[in-house]
Amino acid sequence: MGRKKVVIALGGNALGKDVEEQKKAVEKTAKVIVDLAQQDLDIIITHGNGPQVGMIQDAMDNLVVIQDNLKQIPLPTCVAMSQGYIGIDLQNAIKYELYKRNIDGKVSTILSQVEVDKDDPAFQNPTKPIGRFLTKEEAEINESHGVRCMEDAGRGYRVVVASPMPKRIRELETIKTLVGAGHIVITCGGGGIPVASENGKLVGVNAVIDKDNASSLLAAQLGADYLIILTAVEKVAINFGKENQEWLSDLTVEQAKQYIAEEQFAKGSMLPKVEAAIRFAESAPGRHALITLLDKASEGVAGKTGTVIHV
């Protein structure tokens, strides 16, 4: 029997909120990744980019305000920038952890474009806030130019963009080749650089792809055995925060869908993770998704903790 293939979707707590925090956070993350690699697993890593792409977008927005001869930097370009600098920090931390353990391992970062459908209904209803906070006047000017804005938790206005479903990972064959050659591969950062195909030409689109959805698609297309979604809790719960809260260790797809129908999972946090886990578990026989804490990933793969979702 061959080596098992595992896609690990890192949550924001694995990366920190700024450049300094990220350097520290990836050291801890690298230990977890190498622990898993030592279990004779092929590892593919995806990650979020929320704070990082926001920081880049803010900087670029402010630069345009200061220098009026500069044009707005498109969001796909900012996602590409975030993929690059997060990827290199993760790559170097993992390489150093391998070196400390005297393991001869290969680690590569692949900047990846993820294709979406230009007719995805999400484009008619953008909901994902990005970039710096705006005054009401700035928001109104944006709206007059066709740029959607909304108030964000009473803190001011922000530009909102669509969050369409990922359809195709354009660098899939490159990722497969590197995994086959024994590399730990870091890819699909921030859900991937959002693109659409125009008669074969890839063109960036103003959108943010959910990284758990992109990770689920990647895991399915790579033929992975496991999708591990790392988050801020050890297990998924029902009746979360209530007296009758119950932590779940094992969930069938059928049970998970029932809990979704009962609105057991919060829309902005656990729901998209469970939905992504279901899509992967359903994609082929024998596939399992695991939702757990970063620190518990190895124990989760060993079946000792976390929430496993399967058919």
Q: Which residues are catalytic?
A: 12-13, 128, 211, 273
Roughly how many angstroms between the first and final C-alpha of the chain, as a whole number? 22
**How many residues in total does the chain contain?**
311
Q: How far apart are CA 231 and CA 222, in angstroms?
A: 22
Q: How far apart are CA 182 and CA 112, in angstroms?
A: 19
| List of residues 6+ apart from 134 with CB closer than 8 A | 142, 149, 156, 157, 158, 159
Q: How far apart are CA 97 and CA 102, in angstroms?
A: 9
> Token digits for 136?
């009401």
- What 8-state DSSP symbol labels residue 249? S
CA-based R_g, the chain, Å? 20
Q: How far apart are CA 124 and CA 128, in angstroms?
A: 12
3-state secondary structure of 250: strand
Strands 166-169 and 41-47: what pairing? unpaired
3-state secondary structure of 207: strand
Nearest by Cα to 311 from 286, 276, 292, 294: 286
Q: What are phi and psi of 78, to 5 degrees?
A: -65, -40
Identify whether the C-beta of residue 234 lies closer than 8 Å to the C-beta of residue 245.
no
Q: How far apart are CA 80 and CA 84, in angstroms?
A: 6
Q: How far apart are CA 87 and CA 280, in angstroms?
A: 24
